[in-house]
Amino acid sequence: MMARNVLRLCLLVLLALSFASSLSAQRKDLLMATEYPPKGEAEATQKIIKLLKERLEKDYPAPERTRRDAHPKQHGLVKAEFTVVEGLPKQYRVGVFAEPATYHAWIRYSNLSGQKSPDIAKDSRGMAIKLMGVEGEKILPAHATASTQDFVFMSTQIFVTKDVKTFGKLLKSINGGKVSAGVFFLTHLGLLKLFSEVRIQVANLFDVEWGSTTPYLLGDRAVKYAVLPRTPSGSELPAGTPSENYLRERMVATLSDQDIYLDFFIQVQTDPVLMPIEDPRVKWNRNLSPFIKVASIKIPRQTFDTPAQQLYGDQLSFSPWHALKVHRPLGGLNRGRRAIYETMSKFRHDRNGEVSEEPEDWITFQ
Ligand code: HEM
């Protein structure tokens, strides 16, 4: 008995030592704020684009209006003010965070699933912020002179796949119908677990904790972004069979008589292994690197749910690549999103006979 316990202990020590040495080996290889593109990424990205186009053609046969492939259900597009905080430590004063300033912004709230899915269903929610009046050359040649800087968030701090290759396989299985998706999930149980974790019920969009899930440059370091409510309303899920669009209705009710405040944070990469660039399934631990507030967001009291403003929100395009070079998106998922968002936005605009244009400021709709 004693000998067996000693053997077990030795095995445990050996395992711990080999884990520690593999970690330190990785640590030697990986550099902070550095990307490691895997082979086959460009091909996998093109496959995704092909699958997405096929899906849009199937979901929106002409003359139906073509929506976004992801996040088509728009709760609302609201006006917001984005104010960079004063007294930021020097190392974070980069790009839009360089100086205390207030930018006009549009914020679009969405569900990942389609128009017909009721808000009470478990889903991923989206919040996309577009700052306007941001000076400086932007990354995409087609948007080089645009005055916009976007930040794109989901209602989670992690993404479900490590890379575009696995995302492409997931998409293919979903496009193939229930049986093929079922087989895929049964053979990818880790992904199934994450997929069910990120799909949540939401009582009130202004109470959601938002995460960029993927990293971005901030000068020469890597950060993730998060947006948290300053004072959560404490709303509860509606009882019984609620209205299909209760999330928009609650936004309308809130913004009819009060302003909403959110706080915008960065989380700096402080360890290249525990806070990887190439795997957004890994949540960056707040004990390793706390959130640092860099801006406040005010969503002033307003009426936003007019048909004209809803249509305008549908016509806008948000992309992590609508950005200054110092805020360049990092990691494989983001690299894939460059071509995916540009191509898919153009595809839906072309199908609708429209042209996507970056806004310069708020517009007041009647
Ligand atoms: C390979 C992975 C991904 C693919 C294929 C993908 C695909 C897309 C597409 C096609 C759109 C619509 C673009 C348009 O027509 O304008 C979109 C929008 C969106 N995506 Fe992704 N996406 C991916 C990863 C992510 C990640 C990691 C996030 C995390 C924040 C995210 C959040 C969003 C949100 C919030 C929107 C809606 C933006 C808006 O309001 O216009 N996506 N995505």
Structure confidence at residue 237 (pLDDT): 98
Q: How far is CA 203 from the centre of its chain?
A: 20
Q: Which residue's CA is the closest to the ligand 1 atom numbered 9?
A: 70
The count of C-alpha atoms lying within 13 angstroms of the C-alpha of 298, restricted to the half-sphere facing its C-beta, is 11
CA pseudo-torsion sign 246, 227, 361, 143: negative
User: Quick one: which of 81, 1, 10, 43 has its CA closest to 362?
Assistant: 81
CA gyration radius for the chain? 22
pLDDT score at 116: 87
Give the Cα-Cα-Cα angle 296, 302, 307 (nearest 5 degrees).
120
Contact status, residue 108 vs residue 77, Cβ threshold 8 Å: yes
**pLDDT at residue 269, rounded to an integer:** 98
Residue 128: burial class (beta carbons within 10 Å; 0-12, 13-18, 19+): buried
Residue 182's φ and ψ, nearest 5 degrees, are -60, -45
Encoded tokens for 192: 């199934």
Ligand 1 lined by 128 (C-beta under 6 Å): yes
pLDDT at 114: 87
Task: Tell whether 21 is covered by a domain.
Answer: no
Each residue's pLDDT, cut to its tens digit, for the chain (366 residues) gives 556 666 676 566 555 555 555 555 455 589 999 999 999 999 999 999 999 999 999 999 999 999 999 999 999 999 999 999 999 999 999 999 999 999 999 999 999 998 889 999 999 999 999 999 999 999 999 999 999 999 999 999 999 999 999 999 999 999 999 999 999 999 999 999 999 999 999 999 999 999 999 999 999 999 999 999 999 999 999 999 999 999 999 999 999 999 999 999 999 999 999 999 999 999 999 999 999 999 999 999 999 999 999 999 999 999 999 999 999 999 999 999 999 999 999 999 999 999 999 999 999 997
Ligand 1 neighbourhood includes 152 CB (under 6 angstroms) = yes
CA distance linking residue 169 with residue 185, whole number of Å: 11
Residues whose CB falls within 8 Å of the CB of residue 347, separated by 6 or more in sequence, listed in order: 53, 56, 66
The answer to whether the CB of 213 falls within 8 A of the CB of 331 is: no
Assess whether the C-beta atom of 212 lies below 6 angstroms from ligand 1.
yes
Residue 259 contacts residue 301 (beta carbons within 8 Å): yes
Quick one: pLDDT at residue 20? 53
Among 71, 75, 310, which residue has the most ligand 1 atoms within 8 Å of its CB, making it the best to mutate?
71
10 alpha carbon – ligand 1 mean position (Å): 48
The answer, yes or no, to whether any atom of ligand 1 lies below 6 A from the CB of 170, is no
CA distance 49 to 211: 24
Ligand 1 pocket check for 155: Cβ under 6 Å: no
Look up the CATH number of the domain holding residue 198.
2.40.180.10
Residue 294, domain extent: 31-235+242-352
Q: Which of 153, 202, 277, 318 to mutate to test the pocket of ligand 1 (most atoms within 8 A of CB)?
A: 318
Residue 300 domain-assigned (yes or no): yes
The pLDDT assigned to 28 comes to 58
The answer to the question of residue 2 being in a domain is no
23 occurs within a structural domain: no
Provide the CB-side half-sphere exposure for 254 (13 A, CA). 22
- Which residue among 74, 111, 152 has the greatest number of ligand 1 atoms within 8 angstroms of its CB, and so is best to mutate? 152
Residue 319 in domain: yes
Secondary structure of the chain in the HEC alphabet? CHHHHHHHHHHHHHHHHHHHHHHHHHHHHCCCCCCCCCCCHHHHHHHHHHHHHHHHHHHCCCCCCCCCCCCCEEEEEEEEEEEECCCCCHHHCCHHHCCCCEEEEEEEEEECCCCCCCCCCCECEEEEEEECCCCCCECCHHHCCCCCEEEEEECCCCCCCCCHHHHHHHHHHHHCCHHHHHHHHHCCHHHHHHHHHHCECCCCHHHCCEECCCCEEECCEEEEEEEEECCCCCCCCCCCCCCCCHHHHHHHHHHHHCCEEEEEEEEECCCCCCCCCCCCCCCCCCCCCCCEEEEEEEECCCCCCCHHHHHHHHHCCCCCCCCEHHHCECCHHHHHHHHHHHHHHHHHHHHCCCCCCCCCCCCCCC
Q: Is 196 a member of any domain?
A: yes
**Is 57 inside a domain boundary?**
yes
The answer to whether residue 366 is domain-embedded is no
- The span from the CA of 153 to the CA of 210, in Å, is 6
- Residue count (the chain): 366
How many domains does the structure of the chain reveal? 1
What is the per-residue pLDDT for 366?
78
Residues 98 and 84: their CA atoms lie apart, in Å, by: 8
Tell me what pLDDT residue 270 has: 98
